[in-house]
A and B are shown apart, each in its own frame.
Chain A
Amino acid sequence: MKRIALIGMPNVGKTALFNKLTGSFQRVANFPGVTVEKKMGWITEKGEKLFEVIDLPGIYSLDATTLDEKVTKDFLLQKEKKSSADLFVFVLDATNLDKSLFLCLQLKRLGYPLIIALNLFDEAKKRKLELDIEKLSGELGAVIVPTSAATGFGVKDLIQEMKNHAEDNLPEITLPQNAQRYFRSPEYVNGIFKDIDRILGKVTLEPLRADNFSAALDRWVLHPVWGILILLSLLIFIFQLLFTWATPFADLIEAFFGYLGEIASTGISHDLLRSLIVDGVINGVGGVIVFLPQIVLLFLFIQFLEDFGYLGRAAFLMDSFMRRMGLPGKAVIPLLSSHACAIPGILSTRVIENHRERLITMLVIPLTTCSARLPVYAILIAALVPNVAAFGLPWLRLPGLVLFMLYMIGFVSAMVVSIIFKKTLPYSSPSMLLMELPPYRLPKFRNLFLVMKNKAEIFLAKAGKIILVVSIIIWVLMTFPQQDGKTDINQSYAASIGRVFEPVFRPLGWDWRMTSALIPSIAAREVVVSALSMVVSVEEGEDGFEENMSKALVQQFSMGSLVALIVWFVFAPQCVSTFAVLRRETNSLKWPMFMVAYTLAMAYVFSWLTYVAFNAWF
């Protein structure tokens, strides 16, 4: 099968076009040896795969200064083969030819045969742009297909052009001597800019009307006062919605697992097997999957803001402030996405070129509140905080406000810790911001949907594997050893392990039940909910799982120890997957170990202080 490389500069709608071309036939992997995402997909026709497509990271130039640029450059200029793809499709932004032509001309000068997708064509038309496409095609020496990833306009023609050129022979591509020096010499760069101006002068019949919408919106979004207020209210709004919007879906999932449990209870006669299936598997996994709607919604919001063009603006607004915390403004994006999950957060720190700043960002990411903490917070908040209006405002509920505060505590502690790291970790080179802010664009449902689908699959696969295994292990630890064929949880293995650690955690007000439930949370945080549900005897009631669980917690533990548990989860080390990712990204064992040690120390100290303070107060 012929392989097609999709190339383009950043913010030209390349990924949207990739999604349109491949539909859902795609997968994400890493480029060999580095952690840059490699998106691959297949163009299909009547159910048959026609072409393999690789979506290369968008870059500004072949003069590679960032990891993304190096990956794309290495892919394009591979030495052993003539090149690594059979066809090269270059994506131009019709609404901004000036800025998207640079790389195109670089590749043409090297002799790459290109098929050009003139993307965002409909938007450019709306803004009255008239181009002599034939002339442009002549100037660039390439076929040009006007496309619109949003509506699908021109996509069929683009595929037809791929077919037309599928059998073309690739010319030998030779690199200039001392390539980097060549690509960054002022004469060379100036030559290309001159070319762009000359070509645009020739082919533009009617110039594009200015994007007044972006400029007008920026007057508000980047305003010194309104901009900050918009940023803060957006964050509060998102977290409020997470609780209200996700509830009906969560209720549905809960009802489904309740129904499954009933079927299994009546259908299985063997006592031990029934207990394994109902208590271990269905309740264990179900108790975690309930939180799928919240996690998917959070990813939806983050992706929406990214596609809309807002995340870059947030980085711009926060940069000078973040920099004084030892973090670059670009860390806003990793820090924000680590609120969904630390793993994409850590992976997205790759946008930070400076090693030291990147390390600091990765080390403090575990302090931000990942979505796996939501289940734990949800149960504990339900148990401790009455659902009443806050400050007399009926739309502002107290539980939502407490949740927001927990997020803020996590974020503020991440800032404080990074100041400490800034002052203590060895200094390397100065950092860069130098970032393009894309024009605002209405996010496409298709892109949002694909991201949500992807994240849901990852979460479910995790629930399916780790959480299923851990649920069964916990069940075994809690059920055995049996006495006279009966289970007494007080005599179980879990209780024995919990008792070993009990003295360590007694100052926090926890007994062995709590400590034995904490052990499996190392594997994945959300597991602590199902673990707790097994150690406390949850009574069957009319209400849902969450209500019953909350009631049981309040009855069986002191308030102080539950508050201390919330605080523990604000700081406690991330799951094993985070550890593994950090190990891979830092290529060392030292930093992940350090991360675990410092978060563990913080978790213990602050839980203890909370417990002591709570008991002194009430």
Chain B
Amino acid sequence: MLISDAPIKTKLVVRSFHPDSQAEISDLQSRLMHLGFFAGETIRITHRAPLFKEPFLVEVRGRLVALTRSEASLVEVEVKES
């Protein structure tokens, strides 16, 4: 599933940071990757903003990163098995 569909306050593991791995890496994808949205990283959605249920606030490698819905749907995750 994508971050935008993932449950809140649950540990998630990033599966792939850009679904279309053939294409050139875009600026946006590069920034996501540099912030730690990388296959194998554990992340957690801590908040979703009021009104429109976005942006998403995601904890990744010790930082809090705000993502819009479209940014959040670039990253594929799965719920971490405990």
Interface residues of A (CB under 8 A from B): 60-61, 63, 65, 96, 98-99, 102, 184-186, 189-190, 193, 215, 218, 222-225, 227-228, 312, 315-317, 319-321, 323-324, 329, 430, 432-437, 439
Bound state CA distance, A315 and B67, in angstroms? 12
Q: A434 and B61: CB pair below 8 A?
A: no
Least Cβ distance of B22 to chain A in Å?
A: 13
Q: Which of B25-82 contact A (CB under 8 A)?
A: 25, 27-28, 30-36, 38, 41, 46-47, 49-55, 57, 61-68, 70-71
Centre residue among B34, B35, B62, B70 by max chain A CB count within 10 A: B34
Q: A433 and B30: CB pair below 8 A?
A: no
Chain A residue numbers with a CB within 8 Å of B33 are 184, 186, 189
Bound state CA distance, A99 and B34, in angstroms? 10
B66 interface neighbour in A96, A184, A435, Cβ under 8 Å: A435
Q: B55 and A433: CB pair below 8 A?
A: yes
* Given A224-B50, A319-B49, A60-B66 contact (CB < 8 Å): no
Interface bracket on B: 20 to 34
Least Cβ distance of B59 to chain A in Å?
A: 9
* Interface pairs (23), CB distance under 8 Å: A60-B35, A61-B31, A61-B34, A63-B34, A99-B36, A99-B62, A184-B30, A193-B36, A222-B57, A224-B49, A224-B51, A312-B66, A316-B55, A317-B49, A320-B53, A321-B51, A329-B55, A329-B66, A432-B68, A432-B71, A436-B64, A437-B57, A439-B64
B57 interface neighbour in A189, A228, A316, Cβ under 8 Å: A316
Bound state CA distance, A436 and B30, in angstroms? 15
Least Cβ distance of B8 to chain A in Å?
A: 12
Least Cβ distance of A509 to chain B in Å?
A: 41
Chain B residue numbers with a CB within 8 Å of A218 are 46-47
Least Cβ distance of B69 to chain A in Å?
A: 8
Q: A434 and B50: CB pair below 8 A?
A: no
Chain A residue numbers with a CB within 8 Å of B57 are 222, 316, 437
Chain A residue numbers with a CB within 8 Å of B62 are 96, 98-99
Query: Which residue on chain B has the smallest CB distance to residue A184?
Result: B30
Q: B65 and A437: CB pair below 8 A?
A: yes
Least Cβ distance of B20 to chain A in Å?
A: 13
Instruction: Report the tally of A-B residue pairs with Cβ distances under 8 A.
Output: 110
Q: B47 and A96: CB pair below 8 A?
A: no
Interface residues of B (CB under 8 A from A): 17, 25, 27-28, 30-36, 38, 41, 46-47, 49-55, 57, 61-68, 70-71
Chain B residue numbers with a CB within 8 Å of A316 are 47, 49, 55, 57, 66
A99-B62, A316-B57 provided; 10 other pairs, C-beta below 8 A?
Answer: A60-B35, A186-B17, A222-B47, A316-B49, A320-B51, A430-B70, A434-B68, A434-B71, A436-B64, A437-B65
Chain A residue numbers with a CB within 8 Å of B27 are 65
Least Cβ distance of B10 to chain A in Å?
A: 16
Query: Which residue on chain B has the smallest CB distance to residue A316?
Result: B66
Chain B residue numbers with a CB within 8 Å of A329 are 55, 66
Centre residue among A63, A224, A320 by max chain B CB count within 10 A: A320
A222 interface neighbour in B36, B41, B49, Cβ under 8 Å: B49
Bound state CA distance, A316 and B35, in angstroms? 17
Query: Which residue on chain B has the smallest CB distance to residue A225?
Result: B50
Q: A432 and B55: CB pair below 8 A?
A: no
* Given A317-B50, A319-B55, A99-B30 contact (CB < 8 Å): no
Ranked 6 nearest A-B pairs via Cβ = A224-B50, A320-B52, A65-B27, A184-B30, A437-B64, A98-B62
Chain B residue numbers with a CB within 8 Å of A437 are 57, 63-66
Bound state CA distance, A315 and B55, in angstroms? 10
Least Cβ distance of A496 to chain B in Å?
A: 55
Least Cβ distance of A328 to chain B in Å?
A: 9
Bound state CA distance, A423 and B23, in angstroms? 31
Bound state CA distance, A287 and B38, in angstroms? 59
Centre residue among B28, B32, B35, B47 by max chain A CB count within 10 A: B47
Q: A433 and B35: CB pair below 8 A?
A: no
Least Cβ distance of B81 to chain A in Å?
A: 20
B63 interface neighbour in A96, A228, A321, A433, Cβ under 8 Å: A96
* Given A99-B61, A320-B51, A320-B55, A434-B66 contact (CB < 8 Å): yes
Bound state CA distance, A332 and B37, in angstroms? 26
Q: B30 and A65: CB pair below 8 A?
A: yes
Chain A residue numbers with a CB within 8 Å of B28 are 65, 432, 434
Q: A65 and B31: CB pair below 8 A?
A: yes
Chain B residue numbers with a CB within 8 Å of A185 are 25
Q: A321 and B64: CB pair below 8 A?
A: no
Chain B residue numbers with a CB within 8 Å of A432 are 28, 31, 68, 71
Q: A434 and B67: CB pair below 8 A?
A: yes
Bound state CA distance, A235 and B63, in angstroms? 27
Q: A227 and B50: CB pair below 8 A?
A: yes
Chain A residue numbers with a CB within 8 Å of B50 are 223-225, 227-228, 317
